[in-house]
Amino acid sequence: MIFGKIEYLNLLPFHVFMKRFTRSSQEQMSMHYKRGVPSKINKKFISHEVDAAFISSVKARKYKNIGLGIIAKKEVQSVIVVPNARDESDTESATSNILAKALSIKGKVLIGDKALAYSLRNDDYIDLAKEWHTRYNSPFVFALLCYHKDKQKYKRIQKNFLKQKVKIPRYILVKASKKTAIKENDILEYLKLISYKYDKKAEHGLKKFYSLLDN
């Protein structure tokens, strides 16, 4: 199984879980990773270079998913627009660039860890998930875990991941902090903003986003 791995902080709990899961399951010897930012992982998935990955919502529409996603209930801090800067998309992104346009918010789009670092140090930004919730009173789904085959394998991953609260080991948290220059406590607080369960409310929010794209 080749899995597309996005190494943003928002997926840190999932990566910790997967490391443990593959050690204690039959997938141990068959799990391989291809790493990249969301825009690159999208391309690898679509071209079948990876078997499964968290795929940007704008690309995930026609693919099968297992009910796991990267979801912001309200604010998210890691998907922002700096409005006083000139209009500029983030090349790492797919969904967030289109979300900014759908919300008619102009400026420089920033996603991921660099966006989180910016939002923790500045207040001159617009949180796109928060703006979405203000307008539509629904969560925003940034990505869904999609797969090409082996549904039962990924459903097993989903079931096991959602039934437990993943505790991030101290050494992994320290390593993530050093890599991103974001304090450990700030990482933990940020992760409270992220939901992974693609429930009915999240599904409703995503359908609303798709309806805006179709108009």
Structure tokens at 115: 């966006």
Tens-place pLDDT, residues 74-85: 999 999 999 977
**Residue 33: what pLDDT?**
87
Tens-place pLDDT, residues 39-63: 999 999 999 999 999 999 999 999 9
Please state the rounded mean pLDDT for residues 113-137: 97
Please state the rounded mean pLDDT for residues 110-125: 96
**Residue 26: what pLDDT?**
62
Please state the rounded mean pLDDT for residues 16-31: 74
Structure tokens at 197: 């369960």
Statement: the pTM of the whole predicted model exceeds 0.85: yes
Strand partners, 158: none
Tens-place pLDDT, residues 158-201: 999 999 889 999 999 999 999 999 999 999 999 999 999 999 99
**Residue 28: what pLDDT?**
54
pLDDT band at 111 (very low <50, low <70, confident <90, very high): very high
Q: Which domain holds residue 162?
A: 2-214
Task: Specify the CATH number for the domain of residue 202.
Answer: 3.40.190.10
- Helix axis angle, 12-23 to 151-162, nearest 10°: 110
Residue 114: pLDDT over 90: yes
Q: What is the mean pLDDT of the chain?
A: 93
Number of domains the chain is built from: 1
Q: Are strands 32-35 and 2-5 parallel, antiparallel or unpaired?
A: parallel
For 64, the enclosing helix (H) or strand (E) is strand 64-72
Residue 128: pLDDT over 70: yes
Helix, strand or coil for residue 96?
Answer: helix
